[in-house]
């Protein structure tokens, strides 16, 4: 089938689902959208999207259906009632989740007779469809080969392997790297703040250029082994790390990067609880 003429249905019009639909419309694709809470499709409909009244209608309207919902449970909630309609349908799940969830969903959809691809979106809503955005996919290679050009406008398709859990694996691992970087940055500004420095100036003039300079070296140096290559000069690195711990102790800032991750989680949970 001609890529341009494949009809795409999007389940979920949160910030990300909306951005996906928008990028596909922009590229001239035929798009149908569905959202649990009605009334979110207005601008997309004005640009040519069809607003489905039910999940059944959305799946029926598309040659392939993309789910972009909150979590694995919401995907199950949405697809379980229409399980019998899924035979021979192509479902691409771009909802974030764990490796196990992706494998289990793949198994369940296979039993339902659907063709399935799991995905992970390496973009945020404003960067969907822009240079640098890419989408991880894993599952059946023939499904990937078919849908990659169709969904190309949302981000560069990246094949992560036949195991349906691998898109989630790479997604979660990459997010861990990102949040770890964030935890390091949180710790850095906490130190500067505790010692009376100007956080904004520090971020702009020191932290950002330094992290940009060190990004490739940090990623290339990531390792699971206990050994340290000689060229890393372990004695110098050990002194450097001791200096950070001393500076943290003097400033009264816990040098516990996992603690910064937990603090971020609690900050998000408090925001959710506050509505
Ligand atoms: N936004 C981002 O920056 C990240 C970037 C990387 C990928 N993530 C993942 O994308 C999924 C969707 O994220 P989102 O930003 O669109 O999330 P929300 O704006 O909160 O929208 C959530 C949608 O899910 C629907 N929904 C929630 N629960 C259910 C349910 N039980 N049954 C059916 N639909 C459900 C919700 O519908 P409604 O509340 O409007 O009725 C929204 O459409 C996510 O996995 C990210 O991790 C985004």
Q: Does the CB atom of residue 182 touch ligand 1 within 6 A?
A: no
Q: Which of 183, 152, 167 is nearest to 6 (CA)?
A: 152
Q: Which of 92, 87, 89 is nearest to 20 (CA)?
A: 92
Quickly state the pLDDT bin for 185 (edges 50, 70, 90): very high
pLDDT of residue 1: 52
Which tokens in the block code for residue 28? Answer: 């001239």
What is the helix (H) or strand (E) element at residue 67, kind and residue range? strand 64-67
Quickly state the pLDDT bin for 11 (edges 50, 70, 90): very high
Q: Rounded CA gap, 11 and 17, in Å? A: 7
Domain boundaries 171-273, corresponding CATH code: 1.10.1040.10
Q: Give the mean pLDDT of 180-191.
A: 94
Indicate the class that CATH gives domain 3-162: alpha beta
Where do the domains of the chain lie?
3-162, 171-273
Average pLDDT, the chain: 94
Distance of CA 254 from the midpoint of ligand 1 (Å):
34
| pLDDT above 80 (res 79) | yes
- Atom index in ligand 1 nearest the CA of residue 97 equals 45
Distance of CA 189 from the midpoint of ligand 1 (Å):
31
Q: Which residue's CA is the nearest one to ligand 1's atom 11?
A: 95
Q: Rounded CA gap, 151 and 141, in Å? A: 15
Q: Does the CB atom of residue 93 touch ligand 1 within 6 A?
A: no
pTM strictly above 0.85 = yes
pLDDT in tens, 200-257: 999 999 999 999 999 999 998 888 887 877 787 888 888 988 999 999 999 999 888 8
In the sheet with 64-67, reading across from the earlier edge strand, the strands are 50-51, 30-34, 7-11, 64-67, 90-93, 115-122, 134-139, 156-159
């Amino acid at each position: 089938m001609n890529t341009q003429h494949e009809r795409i249905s999007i389940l979920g019009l949160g910030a990300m689902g909306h951005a996906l639909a928008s990028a596909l419309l922009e590229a001239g694709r035929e798009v149908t959208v569905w959202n649990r809470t009605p009334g979110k499709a207005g601008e997309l409909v004005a640009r040519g999207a069809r607003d489905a009244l039910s999940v059944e209608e959305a799946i029926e309207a598309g040659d392939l259906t993309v789910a972009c919902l909150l979590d694995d449970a919401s995907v199950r909630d949405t697809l379980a009632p229409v399980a019998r309609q899924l035979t021979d349908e192509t479902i691409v799940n771009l909802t974030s989740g764990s490796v196990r969830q992706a494998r289990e969903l793949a198994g369940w959809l296979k039993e339902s007779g659907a063709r399935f691809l799991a995905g992970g979106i390496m973009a945020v809503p404003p960067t969907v469809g822009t240079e640098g955005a890419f989408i991880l996919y894993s599952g059946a290679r023939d499904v990937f080969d078919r849908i990659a050009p169709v969904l190309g406008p949302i981000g560069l398709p990246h094949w992560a392997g036949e195991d349906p859990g691998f898109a989630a694996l790479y997604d979660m691992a990459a997010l861990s790297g990102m949040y770890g970087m964030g935890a390091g940055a949180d710790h850095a500004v906490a130190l500067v703040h505790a010692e009376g420095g100007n956080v904004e100036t520090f971020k702009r003039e020191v932290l950002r250029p330094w992290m940009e300079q060190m990004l490739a070296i940090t990623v290339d140096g990531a390792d699971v082994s206990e050994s340290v290559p000689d060229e890393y000069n372990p004695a110098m690195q050990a002194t450097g790390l001791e200096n950070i711990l001393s500076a943290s102790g003097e400033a009264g800032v816990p040098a516990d990067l996992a603690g910064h991750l937990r603090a971020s989680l609690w900050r998000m949970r408090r925001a959710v609880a506050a509505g």
